[in-house]
């Protein structure tokens, strides 16, 4: 997916980087999230994510999400930069999560694996730089 400033583009490209550069992290993340569908809403942009063991794909819409996450680019950057944990973001209402306890735990685990892989990915810094520019332009 080409860079067009959307969260969907950022997410699809970051998942692609993780799959190519750190396949072990991508596989662990997909196993943690499978077999769920996730709805992520960032600054009112809604993105569906279909999760299966071995594959995590960005889709236009989520049909039956097990987890719904609503947040902002700023809150995402706060978590990436270590200024906030997911728990702190939820408590402060910077992130809203909805789902069963098991699904929310799986989402947390998948997110932590994704972030751990992203910081180890050689290409992630340039992608994150674009995300920061896009976030400041909004």
Cross-strand bridge partners of residue 55: 52
Higher pLDDT, 2 or 135: 135
Mean pLDDT of the region 28-35: 96
Tell me, what's the pLDDT at 81? Answer: 86
Per residue in 52-76, pLDDT (tens digit) is: 988 999 998 888 999 999 999 999 9
Higher pLDDT, 56 or 133: 56
Residue 88 has pLDDT above 90, yes or no: yes
| pTM score over 0.85 | yes
Both tokens of 95, joined, read 């992130």
């Amino acid at each position: 997916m080409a860079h067009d400033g959307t969260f969907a583009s950022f997410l699809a490209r970051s998942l692609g980087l993780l799959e190519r550069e750190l396949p072990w992290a991508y596989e662990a993340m997909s196993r943690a999230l499978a077999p769920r569908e996730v709805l992520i809403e960032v600054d009112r942009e809604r993105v569906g994510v279909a999760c299966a063991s071995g594959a995590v794909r960005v889709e236009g819409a989520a049909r039956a999400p097990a987890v719904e996450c609503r947040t902002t680019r700023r809150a995402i950057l706060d978590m990436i930069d270590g200024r906030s944990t997911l728990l702190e973001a939820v408590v402060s209402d910077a992130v809203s999560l909805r789902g069963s306890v098991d699904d929310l735990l799986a989402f947390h685990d998948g997110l932590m694996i994704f972030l751990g892989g992203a910081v180890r990915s050689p290409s992630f810094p340039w992608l994150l730089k674009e995300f920061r520019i896009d976030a400041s332009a909004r």
